[in-house]
Amino acid sequence: MSQIGWMLSFIPSEIWLWLTYALYGLGLILYVASKLVSWIPLMGQYKTPAELVGVLLLMIGAYLFGGYGTEMMWRDRVKALEEKVKAAEAQSQQTNVVIQERVVEKIKVVKQNVYVNREIIKEVVGKQIDAVCSLPTSAVVLHDSASRNEVSRGPGSTDATPSTVKASELIDTVVVNYGTYHQVAEQLRGWQEWYAAQKKIFEGIR
């Protein structure tokens, strides 16, 4: 905050302007009077003091008036910027709601698809797969290692004996995992859309 701005925080602008005009007017009167006193007998000795004080008051009045104008200009700019920020925040909130509703709806569709696919596995496909397919232990070990982001190692990784895990259970797990992936993907796309929208909104503030 400037010195003028600091003083204006304590002095009302109307009083400030009145004081500025008073100083400027008094300075002008003294300066003009200093040019006239030489014509008046016994008043010549006051010519120089009156002229100096008049010029000083004129300078102070001009400085205060100019400082007031500059301060008011910056205050107007700040106010205009605050209004733009307020409008941007309102637009941002509306955008947030729209994006959130869109993401929630897409995730809802993903969950519904996962549910339907799991029901199909439970009622039809699972029975068909389990009837013709048994999973070797190595396949289960490989799946579990991949889920932990590890390389399959150890005796189980090459064990071809049948496991106790049904093929339908493996397919069910894959369906659930794919559903989780698509949910995360929709959330990521939502964040990317949110970031781009917010950036565009707030970069528009100038």
Query: pLDDT digits over 123-175, tens only?
Result: 887 788 888 888 899 988 998 898 888 898 888 888 889 888 888 899 999 99
Percent over 90 (pLDDT), the chain: 28
pLDDT of residue 42: 44
Whose CA is closest to 107, among 186, 8, 161, 190? 186
pLDDT of residue 60: 79
pLDDT reading at 25 higher than 60:
yes
Contact 107, 184 (CB under 8 A): no
Whose CA is closest to 181, among 101, 125, 104, 111? 111
pLDDT of residue 128: 87
Q: Mean of the pLDDT values across residues 6-24?
A: 69
Q: Can you list the alpha helix ranges (DSSP code H) found in the chain?
A: 3-8, 13-36, 47-120, 126-132, 137-147, 167-203
| Residues 157, 43: Cα–Cα separation, whole Å | 117
* Paired tokens of 15: 């009083």
List the single range of 13-27, 83-97, 182-196 with lowest mean pLDDT: 13-27
What does the DSSP 8-state code read for residue 204? T
pLDDT reading at 72 higher than 50:
yes
* Paired tokens of 138: 């190595």
What does the mean pLDDT of the chain come to?
83
Percent over 70 (pLDDT), the chain: 87
